[in-house]
Amino acid sequence: MEAAAIPVGGARDDVIDEARTGRLVLWYVAASTAFLFIAGLLGMLLRESQADLVRIKPSIFYAIMTAHGLGAFVAWAAFAVMGLGFWVLSEVGFPMRPLGFLFARTAWWTMVIGVLGIVVTTLFMGFGASWVFLYPLPFHSAGDWSDTATGLFSFATLLVGVSIITWCLAILDTVTGPGLGAPEGTSWLKRLGCSLGFGYIWPRRFATERKLPYPVIPLAVIGVDMIIATLPLAALLIEMIIQALDPSVSIDPLLAKNLLWYFGHPVVYLLLFPAVSIFYLLVPRFAGKELVAGRVVAFAWFLGVVVNVLVWAHHIYLDYPEGTIQAALNTSMQPLTYAITLPSAISLYSLSATIWRSNYQWTAAGKFLAVAMVSWLVAGLQGLINATIVFNGVIHNTMWVVGHFHNMALLNIGLVIFAAIYAFLPKLTNREWYSESLSNAHLWLTVIGGYGMVIPMLIQGLEGAPRRYAVLPSQYDATTQITIPFVIMLALGQIVFAWNLIETLRGRVRKQHEGFGFAFGLTMVLILSGLVLGGSALALNSKNAGRTPSAGGANAAAGANASVGQSEFSQTCGSCHTLKAAGASGTVGPNLDQVKPTYAKVMEALAKGGLGSGTMPKNLYTGAEAEAVAKYVSEVAGR
Amino acid sequence: MNATAEVILILYTVFTIIGVALGLVIFRTTRVGFHIRVADREELEKREGYWGVTAVAMLVVLLLATIFSLPYWTANSGANEPQTIQVTGRQFAWTIDPPVVRENVTTKIVATATDVNHGLGLYDPNGVLIKQIQVVPGATQNLIVTFHTPGIWKIRCLEFCGVNHHLMQGTLRVTR
């Protein structure tokens, strides 16, 4: 399979030579890896803030959360596999052609500019509507960011969308090219069918000179689907740009939700499917035999290309307003979502059967792939739970979901990306890796750190911990803090990776200390450092617990001596009102330190639902609780 | 932990352990000495089909076991329940009317939002998430629930709604 060359043979001027493709792929790898380090650092800050180690202001927390999500998911993982996909195709004898090459370079530039735009609008302009920017939240920032920031963010994200579509065109141009070996005069659509693996299902109708290499199929599938899926998102983003300029324009929030998730599901597979291509290429190579696969896998991918764009509503299972068809739509999406698991289920079988009783090479890259396969199964089973409506009602928007996609994106797709970098870099750069021991340390730190972070997230989710909370309810504090040493291990792993990468690119090769002992010792030392660093930071921090605000200020007063009025105020009123004594800094309602209401005024406001705009709910407190809150506020306001 | 969450935890743990164990067995067969008996390629390819059928069968079982207890149809049936509460979400507070309900009575929560998407997450006095729905601005959505535990229940926002999302909660008193 790998030996396959361009059927016509010899140097051709209508295709791009391997060296140029390699340089292009290196640019994708370089940029995406740089984004990994930034996005990873931001993620570490978020978890440390939740663990009360470095407490970040909520407005900054949510801006970082927006940047981390898009940064890690799109700018690292998607961007990396987009580039590696071209190399997979090159290795199975599908050279790029000038048009596809132009598209691929355009996709690189639009991605980089788009991502930089996202960085500027989130980290410097405060846009913090989360990476799903659920409409109409971008236009209801409660004073946190401007409509200009929303407009610019939408434009930057639109560039990312354009990059994805352009990449799809580059992939489709390449998979329908001379590598396919389709007979002269075969129409473009028929060649596309061949590249999707239809030849395995209808051998005569989609005949090619050589058997289609399996790694081509997932790339062709996602190349088709991401064009279909990205266009509705582009429409939503253009609407948001227009609305930022002219506030009278708007669209229906439920429609916007559907448009977003119409893109939001397939974009997950923009990460997964190219990763599957890498599995299909590298696992047989390490096992020293062809991929064990027949027609069934082609059927599964045929199902995949169709169903992938018909499962979006499983992200909005809990939206079923009266008088809409959403409930029926959601119901139909459960079996369809089950169907989309089949390409994964069959692929895992094929890969396992390929490894079964083979002479598999347990190099660092080989180990990365094997662990990634296990993560694929482990995270895929979580996906089945998410896909089941009655289960979704429990875990939706909890930390379970955060655990699930870190399991899938970091510990499956991320490990595949690292495996591909370890496997491809020597050929791309003509340099051997600096150190295999460092690669092994990178693997185990990432896996142990990663699962040490993910498993507590999953458990927190099952216990109902909400996701996207700058400050989690205190019942989840212990489980949040457990993750900190592992988060640090994960970070140490990436430092090891960076060190190995830089030394390799400098042309160094480490000869000494390459035995098992060194690798094991180094890994253990770094794991222990993670535990000690994380543990001692938490211990030092808990000593200061009495002095640091434990809930971004708002719950500062919720100590042992706090009065009933004070704690009730912090819980219910602090999100909208500023009251310095309670550490509350809400800006939705009047600043109580300036208004200085009397006892009677507070009682009246609580009963009537405010004394002004009518935004405040009625009867927030009644009876003794109301009296306690009124007494507290009238006593401390302005002090 | 919610009863459904316990089911998830048990099912998930069992299947994950089986899966990981299978993976380790497969990886072990690559050790020197094991691959002397070369696996029959055709046999393995045939088994791909058997595995495909098995996977589909397991999915059908899971589908049949879960698809008939959806929350949608009773919530949107239009029937009146013995007890109704109106809940309105806005950045960053809930209006709950009336804020006091009786236990063990089927209750319809009629939820709306005035500004952005919110998530209505119902937590019992022990901090267990019992049920949740999304609340879309401009639309009305119902949640049917029976409160079995008397005391102070909390409604937490479970859809990101802006800078004070994590502080958005309301209280509901459930009386005997």
pLDDT in tens, A493-515: 999 999 999 999 998 887 655 67
Integer angstrom CA distances of residue A284 from A138, A221, A281, A369: 47, 21, 6, 11
Q: Which of A284-288, A474-478, A543-547, A551-555 has the lowest mean pLDDT?
A: A551-555
Say whether pLDDT at A586 is over 60: yes
Give the lowest-confidence range in A23-27, A345-349, B18-22, B34-38: B34-38
Quick one: closest CA in B to A476, which residue?
B127
Which among A471, A541, A483 is positioned nearest to A50, based on CA atoms? A471
pLDDT of residue A281: 97
CB contact under 8 A, A129 and B162: yes
Q: Do A294 and B48 touch (CB under 8 A)?
A: yes
The burial class, CB within 10 Å (0-12 / 13-18 / 19+), for A65 is buried
What angle separates helix A296-307 from helix A342-355, to the nearest 10 degrees? Answer: 150
Res. B46: pLDDT tops 90: no
| CA A279 – CA A568 distance, rounded (Å) | 55
Task: Flag whether pLDDT at A580 surpasses 80.
Answer: yes
List of chain A residues whose C-beta atoms are within 8 Å of the C-beta of residue B45: 292-294, 353
Q: What is the pLDDT of residue B33?
A: 63
Model confidence band, residue A487 (pLDDT cutoffs 50, 70, 90): very high
Which residues are within 8 A (CB) of A418 and not within 5 positions of it... i.e. 6 or more apart? A365, A368, A442, A443, A446, A497
Residue A232: alpha-carbon gap to chain centroid:
20
In sequence order, the β-bridge partners of residue B111 are: B87, B141
Structure confidence at residue A419 as a pLDDT band (50, 70, 90)? very high
Instruction: Please indicate if any CB of chain B lies within 8 Å of the CB of A549.
Output: no
Residues of B in contact with A252 (CB under 8 A): 138
Q: What is the CA radius of gyration of chain B?
A: 24
d(CA A580, CA A600): 20
Q: Report pLDDT for A4.
A: 45
Contact B93 A359 (CB under 8 A): no
Per-residue confidence band for A613, with pLDDT thresholds at 50, 70 and 90: low
pLDDT at residue A602 in the model: 87
Q: H or E segment at B34?
A: none
Interface test with A, best of B129, B142, B161, B163 (most A CBs within 10 A): B163
Does A353 contact B at CB distance below 8 Å?
yes
Please give the pLDDT value at position B38: 59
pLDDT for the residue numbered A318: 96
Q: Residue A336 has what pLDDT?
A: 96
Q: Does A194 score more than 70 pLDDT?
A: yes
Does A533 or A260 have the greater pLDDT score?
A260
- Chain A residues in contact with B76 by the CB 8 A cut-off are 320, 322, 327
Q: Residue A278 pLDDT > 90, yes or no?
A: yes
Residues of A whose CB is below 8 A from B26: 352, 355-356
Of A293, A359, A381, the CB nearest to B16: A381
- pTM of the complete model: 0.89
Q: Which two tokens stand for residue A262?
A: 């119409």
Contact across the interface for A617 and B51, Cβ inside 8 Å: no
A407 touches chain B (CB under 8 A): no
Average pLDDT of chain A? Answer: 90
Cβ A626 vs Cβ A607: under 8 Å:
yes
Out of A151-155, A158-162, A190-194, B36-40, which region has the weakest mean confidence (pLDDT)? B36-40
Judging contacts by C-beta atoms under 8 Å, the chain B residues touching residue A586 are 92, 164, 167
Q: Which of A356, A391, A576 sits opposite B26 (nearest CB)?
A: A356
pLDDT at A548 over 80: no
Taking the C-alpha atoms of residue A254 and residue B173, their distance in angstroms, rounded to an integer, is 31
Would the pLDDT of A285 be above 50?
yes
pLDDT confidence band for A19 (50 / 70 / 90): very high
Write down the pLDDT at residue A347.
96
H or E element in which residue A440 lies: helix A436-462
* Dihedrals phi, psi of B133, to nearest 5 degrees: -140, 165
Tokens 């480490």: give the residue: A510
Asked if the Cβ–Cβ distance from A136 to B137 is below 8 Å, we say: yes
pLDDT reported for residue B45: 85
Contacting residues of A for B68, CB less than 8 Å apart: none
Over residues A271-288, mean pLDDT: 97
Q: What is the DSSP letter of B92?
A: T
Banded model confidence at residue A8, pLDDT cuts 50, 70, 90: very low
Q: How many residues does chain A have?
A: 639
User: What's the full length of chain B, in residues?
Assistant: 176
Q: How confident is the model at residue B121 (pLDDT cuts 50, 70, 90)?
A: very high
pLDDT of A87 above 80: yes
pLDDT of B1 over the 80 cut: yes
Confidence of residue A543 (pLDDT cuts 50, 70, 90): low
Q: Residue A516 above 50 pLDDT?
A: yes
Among the listed ranges A39-43, A63-67, A599-603, which one has the minimum average pLDDT value? A599-603
The alpha carbon dihedral of B55, B59, B65, B66 has a sign of: positive
B94, B168 in Cβ contact below 8 A? yes
Nearest CA-CA partner of B60 in A401, A341, A304? A341
Contact A165, A114 (CB under 8 A): no
CA closest to B77 among chain A residues: A322
> Is residue A174 within 8 Å of residue A191, measured between CB atoms?
no
Collapse the DSSP code of A488 into the 3-class scheme (helix H, G, I; strand E, B; otherwise coil) and give the result: helix
Instruction: Give the per-residue pLDDT at A5.
Output: 44
Give the pair of three-digit tokens for residue A517: 């002992």
Phi, psi dihedral angles at B96 (to 5 degrees): -120, 120
Mean pLDDT across chain B: 92
The fraction of chain B above a pLDDT of 90, given in percent, is 79
Residue A73 has pLDDT above 90, yes or no: yes
Strand B83-90, strand A584-585: pairing: unpaired
> What pLDDT is stored for residue A564 in this prediction?
76
| CB nearest B165 (choices: A338, A355, A468) | A468
Whole-number Å distance between alpha carbons of A393 and A316? 10
b/e map A78-114, b = 16+ CB within 10 Å: bbbbbbbbbbbbbbbbbbbbeebbbbbebbbebbbeb
What confidence score (pLDDT) does residue A3 get? 43
Instruction: Please report, to the nearest 10 degrees, the dihedral formed by the alpha carbons of residues B114, B116, B122, B127 taken in order.
Output: -130
- Residue A565: pLDDT band by 50, 70, 90 thresholds? confident
Question: One-letter amino acid identity for B141?
Answer: Q
Q: In what order do the strands lie in the sheet with B100-102?
A: B100-102, B169-175, B151-157, B118-123, B129-135
| pLDDT computed for residue B76 by the predictor | 85
Instruction: Please report the pLDDT score of residue A606 as a whole number.
Output: 85
Interchain CB contact of A613 with B (< 8 Å): no
- With bands split at pLDDT 50, 70 and 90, how would you rate the model's confidence at A552? very low
Expressed in angstroms, the distance from the first to the final Cα of chain B is 23
Of A451, A461, A479, A304, nearest to A392 (Cα)?
A461
Partner residue opposite A356 with nearest CB, options B12, B29, B88? B29
| B153, β-bridge pairs | B172
Q: Measured between beta carbons, which residues in chain B are less than 8 angstroms from residue A321?
A: 136, 139-141
How far, in Å, CA of A441 to CA of A490, rounded?
A: 11
Does the distance separating the beta carbons of B71 and A141 come in below 8 Å?
Answer: no
What's phi and psi for A166, nearest 5 deg? -65, -40
In A465-622, which ranges are continuous DSSP H helix?
A: 477-505, 516-543, 564-568, 592-595, 599-608
Asked if the Cβ–Cβ distance from A617 to B34 is below 8 Å, we say no
Q: How far apart are CA A175 and CA A195, in angstroms?
A: 6
Task: Point out the residue among B5, B15, B127 whose CB comes nearest to the CB of A462.
Answer: B5
pLDDT bin (cut points 50, 70, 90) of residue A639 is confident
To the nearest 10°, report the CA torsion of B48, B49, B55, B59: 150
Q: B163: which chain A residues are within 8 Å (Cβ-Cβ)?
A: 58-59, 62, 128, 141-142, 144
pLDDT grade for A365, boundaries at 50, 70 and 90 = very high
Q: Which helix (H) or strand (E) holds B101?
A: strand B100-102
Q: Does A57 have pLDDT greater than 80?
A: yes
* Neighbour count for residue B120 (Cβ, 10 Å): 24
CA atoms within 13 A on the CB side of A222: 27
Residue A507 falls in which region: left (phi positive, over 0), alpha (psi -120 to 50) or beta: left
- How distant is the alpha carbon of residue A626 from its chain centre? 44
Query: What is the number of CB-based contacts under 8 A between chain A and chain B?
Result: 292
Q: Which residues of B touch A393 (CB under 8 A)?
A: 4, 71, 131-132
Contact B138 A618 (CB under 8 A): no
Return the pLDDT at A418.
Answer: 98
Q: Which residue has the higher pLDDT, A165 or A610?
A: A165
Closest CA to B112 of B85, B132, B84, B141: B141
User: With an 8 Å Cβ cutoff, is A319 touching chain B?
Assistant: yes
Q: In the structure, what pLDDT confidence band is assigned to residue A557 with cuts at 50, 70 and 90? A: very low
pLDDT digits (tens, 9 = 90+) for B64-75: 999 999 999 888
**Nearest CA-CA distance, residue B37 and chain A, Å:** 8
CA distance A75 to chain B (A): 22
The answer to which of A11-25, A70-84, A380-394 has the lowest mean pLDDT is A11-25
Interchain CB distance below 8 Å, A586 and B96: no
Q: Which of B44, B73, B160, B171 to mutate to test the interface with A (most CBs of A within 10 A)?
A: B160
Tokens of A470: 């700058």
pLDDT tens digits, B146-157? 999 999 999 999
Does the pLDDT of residue A12 top 70, yes or no? no
Q: Rounded distance, CA A204 to CA A221, Å? A: 21
